[in-house]
Amino acid sequence: MAHAIWSGTINFGLVTIPIQLFTAIRSNELRFHLLHDRDGGRLSNVRVCDTCGKPVEWEHVVRGFEYEKGRHVVLSDDDFKRVNVEATQSIDIMEFVESSEIDPMFYETPYYLVPEKKGRHAYALLRDVLGKGTKVGIARVVIRTREHLAAVRPHDDALVLELMHFADELTNQGEFDFPAKAEKASAGEVKSATMLIDAMSAKFDPAAFTDKYREELMALIEARAHGQEVKTRAAKPRRPTNVIDLRDMLDESVAQTRKQRRKTPKRTRVA
């Protein structure tokens, strides 16, 4: 069974619910060691000063913030402790908002909130009441010395704590060059694009999607570990669609999609 990474309470109004925090995701990222190509030995990270060119021991390492190019403010461990946020071990719900008002880009990492025995009734009450409506709780929580903005929302039988980005952490869209809404497509292109989306529509089944890159990489690793080789083919990049032929490409895509769906009806389509 997974281990709780944090224990505390959910607080809303005068109600306090004792809970434990469990991660709701598992990382499948493959990790590799850096090796010496001649003898296969693992390489160690060596800290070298770019001023004197000598290796530096941990006891002489300090943390500095570069406020100007090449100029740093050095902070000690005591400095970090002085401004450290108070770990209250509580998820303090400050308000309830409509979930539709939250841009999905704000969501970061989900965690399961698991109630302790004496908090199960209040936990179920909060979950069920939230489940009947469309609101989520907006809370502040401190995890590992850092304060987070978070949403508390129901998910089947569970309450989930979804860590969120603060507003100033999201990059302003104005920094990029996006097509203006005035650059509208023709009525025919809109009709064909809509038909393609309808033809490709399905009921979402997350189990139908797997990390193909990881699977192929693991197959290569396992084969090589047993002295075998796996033939791989380099993917050919697709050429950008010619804007002049966009309508024809959409219509052809609709026809191919419908033909493929008739041959391999693997997923449930949305009516």
**For 148, phi and psi rounded to 5 degrees?**
-125, 150
Spatial CA neighbour of 100 closest among 172, 161, 141, 153: 153
- Same domain flag for 99 and 158: yes
- Same domain flag for 14 and 147: yes
- Same domain flag for 251 and 143: no
User: Percentage of residues in the chain with pLDDT exceeding 70?
Assistant: 89
User: Percentage of residues in the chain with pLDDT exceeding 90?
Assistant: 25
DSSP E strands, the chain: 6-12, 15-23, 63-68, 71-75, 90-98, 107-115, 135-143, 146-155, 158-164
Dist CA 41 CA 53 (whole Å): 24
**For 233, phi and psi rounded to 5 degrees?**
-115, 130
In a domain, 202, yes or no: yes
* pLDDT tier for residue 265 given thresholds of 50, 70 and 90: low
- Residue 76: half-sphere exposure toward Cβ, Cα within 13 Å: 3
- Same domain flag for 119 and 153: yes
- Span 237-252, average pLDDT: 69
Q: What is the pLDDT of residues 193-211, one digit of tens each?
A: 888 888 888 888 888 877 7
Any residues with CB less than 8 A from the CB of 168 and at least 6 apart, and which?
Answer: none
In this model, does residue 57 exceed pLDDT 80? yes
- Span 48-63, average pLDDT: 88
The CATH number given to whatever domain includes residue 152 is 2.40.290.10
In a domain, 54, yes or no: no
Q: What is the pLDDT of residues 120-142, one digit of tens each?
A: 999 999 999 999 999 999 999 98
Instruction: Read off the DSSP letter of residue 175.
Output: G
* pLDDT tier for residue 271 given thresholds of 50, 70 and 90: very low
In a domain, 73, yes or no: no
Compute the radius of gyration of the chain from its Cα atoms.
26
Mean model confidence pLDDT for the chain: 83
Q: What is the pLDDT of residues 11-46, one digit of tens each?
A: 888 888 898 888 887 777 778 787 888 888 888 888
Structural domain of 217: 187-232+243-263
Q: Which residue has the higher pLDDT, 10 or 265?
A: 10
In a domain, 97, yes or no: yes
- Same domain flag for 156 and 193: no
Give how many domains the chain has, as a whole number.
2
- Same domain flag for 101 and 141: yes
pTM, full prediction: 0.69
Which residues is 143 bridged to in the sheet?
A: 146
Q: What is the pLDDT of residues 68-122, one digit of tens each?
A: 888 888 888 877 777 665 666 889 999 999 999 999 999 999 999 999 999 999 9
